[in-house]
Structures are given as structure tokens and as C-alpha cells.
Amino acid sequence: MIDTTYSSSNTDCPPNLLLDGALGYSSLSPKRISIGRYSTDIRQAPIIDVFDTAEMVVLPRYSLPETIQIRDSESIEAVKSFRTLEDDWNGYGATKPSEAAILNSIRLIRNIENSARFKVDICYPLDNGGIQIDISAPPFDYELEVFDDSFELLKFNQSNSLIDTVTLPLDTIDYIAEYFQ
Amino acid sequence: MTTQAEPEIHTITDEDTLHRRVKRIPNFITNGRITSAVFKISKLDLDNALSVNLERLVDDIYTTFDIDTHALVKIKAAVPISLGCECKHTPLPDNYAHSSIYNITTRQQARQLAASAIAFTSLDISGGPSSGT
């Protein structure tokens, strides 16, 4: 069904007319082109019925919606960077961080950061293949020592005195933020 | 047959300052605070102790570490001594200033050592805490 007629002077010309006709993206200099009627019946293939001529209008290229990128926090990026360390990374004979400790640490940090109440200060590899995560949760500071199959939580007061030590199984990682509350 | 003379061994006192080399990467400082992981020694250094250098015996600081890749962590010997650690001058053939801190066995010791230490990452390593990061 042919139901509409447009010309280049028609500012209401829907962009899909030119897009469907592939007329708006020529790299050639402006030239005379034909614009005619098209079908709005989606059951039919586009139909160009030439009846007039007009100057080509170069339209802005149709752009896709912006991609949303979810970036990891600096702490997680730091832990990921530990994968590049080799044995003796500290010059004193340290073992490189294990992949399991890295993955466990990332999971822990995500859970801690999702709580939004606590801040991961710094992550640093231990010399035995584990990873330490330092956390501020005033009035206390915490150190999490993360290993392949468990992690240990150390609680310090502001005088740096150790006031509690808890060894936790891996299945408590997802609930770690609750410990600080 | 001649024997090589034993090097003179110095006594480390509370007034002495000790140096520890720490690689700049991974980063070990946040908001001027050194992570205690730097002092957690499970795989003990030479002679089952934390390797350091005795500052007053260091002739040329730049021969003991590479400022481009390492930071220098300074700590007063009084700190480990007060925590029950033993500090000994343990010279090596290629490093007369080499010393050792023995008996770092607890996490609290490591944390308090870190809290008292100052890290220097610039060439001005003779200054005070303001030179640290």
C-alpha cells in the first residue's frame, strides 16, 4: 500500500526513508537523487516509487547506544595484577600468589565493597602464596589473610593491638560483610 | 696458611635505624600507611630472620637498593626491640651492613612494625617522614 509522499523539502521526512533507501550515506559529492513514495506497510518490502528529484541530504550516521562498561574497583584490579608475579617476587624468596587465593580475594572484595560501609585500603600478597586485604571499619581495622581453602580475619584496635582472630571456611565469603556489622 | 679476619660485629641499639628494601610493585602503601604484610614473614629470609641493613654502616645507600624498582623502609631498632625481637648485625661478604631481625612471630608484631616504619620512594632518603609516601 502506497500511502505517503515525501520530497527533500519535506522536513518531516522520516529518517527511515533515507536509511531504507541507503541514500544518505554516499561518499560522493552531493548529487541529484530520486526520492519518491514508500510503503509504510511493514508486511511489504520497501518500495521506492520515483516521482521527483532532490539534492541529497547527508544525515548524521546512525549511532548505536553507548556501551555500558562495568569497571572493577582499584582493589580488584590490584589483586588481578598479582597474576603477573613470579616466585621470589619480593626478592626474599616469596611464593607467587595462588590462583585460588586470587579468586577468593576478588570474591571477598566484591562482597565487602557491595556493603558500601567498609573500605578496602590495600591488598598485598603474602609471601606464602596468600593475599592480605586491609579493611577500615572504624573504630577497628581488619586484616583478611586469604588462602586457597580458607581465610583468616584479624581485628585490630586503633592502637594496632590484635583483639580477635577468626579462621573462616570459604563458604562464609558471601556473608563476610555481616561480620563487620 | 692464612685465615681471613672475621668482620667486626656491631651491637644494634635502640638508637639505630634499620633499612628494609621493598619492591615498589605491588604497591604496599595507602594513605601513608604501610601494610603489615610487608613484615609478615612466613618464609623467613636468610638465617630465619628479616633481612635489613644497619643504616650507620651503609656507605652508599644506592648500592644497597635500586630506587627505580624499590622503596626503602626505615624503622628505628627500638621498635622491634621493644616488641621482643632481637636485632643483630649479621654481615655478608658482599654487604657489611646486613643485619637481621629475629623472632617476628606474631601478626601484632608485624602490624606494629609497619605502623612505626616510614617508606621512602624518592631520592631524598635522608629526610624525615615528609619524604615518605
CB contact under 8 A, A162 and B107: yes
Is pLDDT above 70 for B124?
no
Query: Which parts of chain B fold into alpha helices (H)?
Result: 61-64, 78-82, 107-116
Contact A156 B111 (CB under 8 A): yes
Evaluate whether residue B12 is within a structural domain.
no
In a domain, B10, yes or no: no
Question: Which residue ranges make up each domain of chain A?
Answer: 2-55, 74-179
Q: How far is A132 from chain B (nearest CA, A)?
A: 7
| More confident call, B47 vs A87 | A87
From chain A, pick out residues whose CB is under 8 angstroms from the CB of B71.
none
Q: Which of A122, A142, A155 to mutate to test the interface with B (most CBs of B within 10 A)?
A: A122
Q: What is the chain A residue with the closest CA to B111?
A: A160
Q: How far is CA A123 from CA A36, A60, A93, in A?
A: 66, 47, 19
Max CA distance (Å), chain B: 58
| Cis ω before A139 (30° cut-off from 0) | yes
Contact B37 A132 (CB under 8 A): yes
3-class secondary structure, B9: coil
Picking from A170, A148, A145, the residue whose alpha carbon sits closest to that of residue A156 is: A145
Query: Cβ B38–A82 below 8 Å, yes or no?
Result: no
- ipTM comes to 0.85
DSSP character for A83? G
Instruction: Note the pLDDT of residue A95.
Output: 94
Give just the sign of the alpha carbon dihedral A132, A133, A134, A137: negative
Asked if residue B54 belongs to a domain, the reply is: yes
Total domain count for chain B? 1
Residue B106 and residue A122: Cβ atoms within 8 Å? no
B45 found inside a domain: yes
Which three cell numbers mark A87?
A: 616466585
Q: Which of B28, B51, B112 sits opposite A92 (nearest CB)?
A: B51
What single-letter amino acid sits at B57?
A: L
Q: How confident is the model at residue B2 (pLDDT cuts 50, 70, 90)?
A: low
Q: How many CB atoms lie within 10 A of CB B72?
A: 22
- Residues in A touching B23 (Cβ below 8 Å): 89-91
Q: Cell triple for residue A169? A: 571456611
Q: Report yes or no on B8 lying in a domain.
A: no
pTM of the model: 0.72
Q: Which residue has the higher pLDDT, B91 or A55?
A: B91
Q: Looking at the domain assignment, is residue B3 inside a domain?
A: no
CA dist., res. B81 & res. B15, Å (int): 11
C-alpha span between A81 and A75 (Å, rounded): 10
The predicted model gives B15-26 an average pLDDT of 95
**Closest Cα in chain B, distance from residue A67 (Å):** 31
Q: Which domain holds residue B24?
A: 17-125
From first to last of the 181 residues of chain A, give the pLDDT tens digit: 444 444 444 444 444 444 333 444 444 444 444 444 444 444 554 444 444 455 555 666 666 666 666 678 999 999 999 999 999 999 988 999 999 999 999 999 998 888 767 889 999 999 999 999 999 888 899 999 999 999 999 999 999 999 999 999 988 888 887 777 6
Q: What is the spatial distance between Cα A35 and Cα A32, in angstroms, rounded to a whole number?
A: 10
